[in-house]
Amino acid sequence: MTRIYLVDDQLILRDGLHALLETAGHQVVGESSDPTQAVVEAQQQQAQVMLLDLGLGERSGFEVLQELKKRESPVRAVVLTMSAQPRHVAEAVRLGAAGYVLKDAGAAELLQAIDTVAAGRRFFGPQVADLALQALTNDAPADPFAILSPRERQIVTMVVNGLSSAAIGTQLHLSPKTVDTYRSRVMAKLGVAGVTSLVRLAVREGLVEK
């Protein structure tokens, strides 16, 4: 029996996974859609494996991987996602994911991934095996923007296109102060010191055109 923590922003999917895992003899020790809560609770509940989606609404599953890595947590993460983008696989591997399974995989593959990762090994589903190999051999460059949530990426695009916090706030129905908070958080995540550096990074990575 493996102690498992679920992280997904879709309640119906968490319920389905909960039923599948309990039927297979595993124990679901907690679940959440919030990255911060997930890391804390998974460690408190002594989870062995975390099933983690990359898309968490306004947040990102990469934040969870980053925090687990920073804490040197014993919780081993298996990414369970719809994304088969090589750069997402590369970033997940770079941040310490022990497994990567697509959501359209069968139940048998997911259960195999859990058993493999709980035993201390890595698991990558057949559909992403080639992508995982590229990631592990550094043939697929990591995406520095992958750690950002969809909202943060949207704000980055608007910032590098020259919009002020007030203009961004008007378009997104946010206060300028909230936009400034997003901007500060984005720059901290990306390790850039100002808008000029942010623009250079965005152009280099193809997020915006020159």
Q: What is the pLDDT of residues 58-114, one digit of tens each?
A: 778 888 998 999 899 999 999 998 887 777 888 888 889 999 999 888 899 999 999
Of the options 2.40.30.110, 3.30.43.10, 3.10.20.600, 3.40.50.2300, the CATH number for the domain spanning 3-136: 3.40.50.2300
**CATH 1.10.10.10 domain extents, the chain:** 150-204
Report the alpha-carbon distance of residue 31 to residue 172 in Å, rounded: 30
In the chain, the percentage of residues whose pLDDT exceeds 70 is 93
**CATH 3.40.50.2300 domain extents, the chain:** 3-136
Give residue-wise pLDDT tens across range 174-198: 999 999 998 888 888 787 878 888 8
CATH domain 150-204 topology: Arc Repressor Mutant, subunit A (1.10.10)
